[in-house]
Amino acid sequence: MTYNEFLLRRYEEMLGSRFKEFLEASRKPLPKYIRVNTLRIKPKELRKRLEEKGFELKKVMDYCFLVKEAPISIGATTEYLLGYYFLQDYSSLFPAINLNPKPGEVVWDMCAAPGGKTTHIAQLMKNQGVIVATDVRKVKSLWYNVMRMGVTNVIIYQRDAREVKYKFDKILLDAPCTGTGILRKDPTRARVKLRDIRKASSLQKELMKTAYENLKEGGTLVYSTCSLEPEENEEVVEYALS
């Protein structure tokens, strides 16, 4: 699967001489990573348990491993069901890391489902303080992952984030997007058209406005997407700063 003609022309214009390199990279298999849930187990102990089952792991962060070899599906182990780890792309760790949540703070994860970043934030907060996690859909998967990972400081609301009015210490806006950066995971993203990009950008700006209005003075707001489009990234940031 590759990008449609609209996206191919767009990226060729954007990337110039690096276009072919980009296409080659987008066709490579997606590496698999796991984030160790330090609320339940120490990284060293989890590594020992998985390697005894035949997994080959490479440490890339204190609590993150690259799965180099897997004798069975990494999502089908006892350790996974016990909430010892979360299947999470390496790049998706950085929104929570950059948010830098502290124990005792009040944090809002605006578009939280299915809960990878929510449970990561809880892990960094050591289950202390409060995380308000909102989403308009997939709340069951969010609830399941919060329970599986042993997170106890999350309040889940199924509602549109634009309706929330409260002041938070820190806010993560991992915005709904076209997802053009995750083609290797979801080939349907190759069908994105310009109208989809414009629609996503419009929603992202509304959510950004809501985030700004709900952030305490001196607070921290982190914005992230899995899109490659400037309209969904730089343009939204410029809107927030204007």
Give the β-pairing of 130-135 and 106-109. Answer: parallel
- 210: closest CA among 200, 199, 221? 221
The residues that are catalytic are 226
d(CA 110, CA 121): 13
Q: Rounded distance, CA 78 to CA 94, Å?
A: 27
Exposure b/e, 25-53, CB count within 10 A at least 16 = b: ebeeeeebbbbbbbbbbebeebbeebeee
Type of residue found at 209:
K
- Beta-strand relationship, 64-69 and 56-61: antiparallel
Degrees (nearest 5) of the Cα angle 27, 32, 36? 155
